[in-house]
A = this chain, B = another copy of it.
Amino acid sequence: MNQDKPRIDAHVTLAHGNGGRRMRELIDGIFAREFGNPLDTQVDAARLPLDAPGADWLITTDGFTVEPLEFPGGDIGSLAVYGTVNDLAVSGATPRYLSLNMFIEEGLEMAVLERISRSIARACQICGICILAGDTKVVRRGQGGGLYLATTGIGQRRRGIELSIRCIQPGDRLIVSGTVGDHGTAVMLAREQFGLSGNLRSDAMSVAPITEALLECAGLRFMRDPTRGGIATVAHDIASATAATVRLFEDQVPVRNEVRGVCEILGYDPYYLASEGRVVAVLNPKAAESAVVALQRLGFHDARVIGVIESGTPRVILQTRLGGERLLPELEDDPLPRIC
């Protein structure tokens, strides 16, 4: 028997959430090994080393319920890290620290939990952030979805960076850093219920390299990652906050052929599907083209100017390939629950 690795049951039981021996085994056997240093599992609260006195500090939080827990291109663990990191990145901040909550359903395979924990640790390493605090609850079989995660992220931002949806003005351009709807479609395909399969992978990743490049562009007003509700919902948020019209150009929005095909078969619109590694940014008219060129030089070849803000009533118009116009409504029903 390996003394360094406590024996762990094959499945999570209610006792793994009770605060007693089994919970300690779970924490020591998986979480401390994967997330340890600086995570201290013996304290009620950990020191938050705010070592950049000249910086502003930002906080964000996010819940994750994706089904299935593992999908091509990622899993709920990497998704949670990137999702939280990305909310900080689009706000102009460098992600630094994370807290992590797990809600585990009784019966989850311990091997799955271990793989996801390893994936969380790897994503943290890629993003240069560390987990300072964590908590685990176990709920009865039938009262959860295998695993739900909640993460709170803290990042630092250079003083003087002013980004806000309220800074957007008519004439400003919308750009996107890559193809849209990959994540939503990949997760949908990974659900066996659809009887479809493909090679599509989630685009989940840290967008920090993208946001760092955009922060160098004069004329940057606002950035957002088009997750739940997709780029159509970001466009609606902009229309609503600025009381202006957002016009999207169908022939400019990059959509993978495979995403388009799956959406046609199943009746979804890729503009409403989640991306988890893309940025929608708004820049003044002069800056937009050069921002796109900068992203393409970094390897984001599908970056495009996809729209423009126009004075007018708050609405989102899609200018179609054939030159017509179509109103993109605000999202009503949930097209795909538990997509992120």
Q: A332-B15, A334-B14 are in contact. Are A45 and B241 (CB under 8 A)?
A: no
How large, as a class, is the contact surface on chain A?
A: 35 or more
Docked complex: A225-244 residues within 8 A CB-CB of B: 225, 227-229, 233, 236-237, 240-241
Interchain CB contact under 8 A, A333 and B45: no
User: Which stretch in A115-123, A141-149, A257-265, A286-294 binds the other chain?
Assistant: A141-149
CB-CB < 8 A to A24: which residues of B? 240
Chain A stretch 143-160: residues in CB contact (< 8 A) with chain B: 143-145, 148, 150, 152-155
Cβ A48 vs Cβ B42 within 8 A: no
A91 & B44 in contact (Cβ 8 Å cutoff): yes
Stretch at the interface among A49-57, A187-195, A303-311: A49-57
> Which stretch, A99-107, A167-175, A248-256, touches the partner chain B?
A99-107
Q: Which of B60, B150, B338 contacts A45 (CB 8 A)?
A: B60
Residues in A30-59 with C-beta less than 8 Å from chain B: 42-48, 50, 53, 56-59
A224 vs B138: C-alpha distance in the bound complex, in angstroms?
22
A196 at interface, CB cutoff 8 A: no
Interface status of A113 (Cβ within 8 A of chain B): no
- Judge whether B93 and A61 touch: CB under 8 Å: no
Which residue from B57, B101, B337 sits with its C-beta under 8 Å from A48?
Answer: B57
Q: Is the CB of B61 within 8 A of A135?
A: yes
- Once A46-B58, A46-B59, A87-B44 are accepted as A-B contacts, the answer to whether A333 and B18 lie under 8 Å apart by CB is yes
Q: How far is the CB of A139 from chain B (nearest CB, A)?
A: 5
The complex places the Cα of A115 from the Cα of B165 at a distance, in Å, of 31
User: A residues within 8 Å of B by Cβ?
Assistant: 13-15, 17-22, 24, 42-48, 50, 53, 56-65, 87-88, 90-91, 93, 97, 99-103, 132-140, 142-145, 148, 150, 152-155, 164-165, 224-225, 227-229, 233, 236-237, 240-241, 330-335, 337-338
